[in-house]
Amino acid sequence: MDANGQERQLTLLDAGAQAVRFEIGARPVTMRRDEILAVDRVKDRNRDGVIKGALVGAILGGLIDSSVRGGGRFAIRSAVSYAAIGYLFDRAHTAREPLYRAPRP
- pLDDT tens for each residue of 41-60: 777 677 888 999 999 999 99
Confidence of residue 79 (pLDDT cuts 50, 70, 90): very high
Sequence-ordered strand ranges (E) for 1-105: 11-15, 19-24, 27-32, 38-42, 96-101
Predicted TM-score (pTM) of the model is: 0.53
Q: Give the three-state DSSP class for 31.
A: strand
Confidence of residue 85 (pLDDT cuts 50, 70, 90): very high
- Average pLDDT on 62-90 reads 86
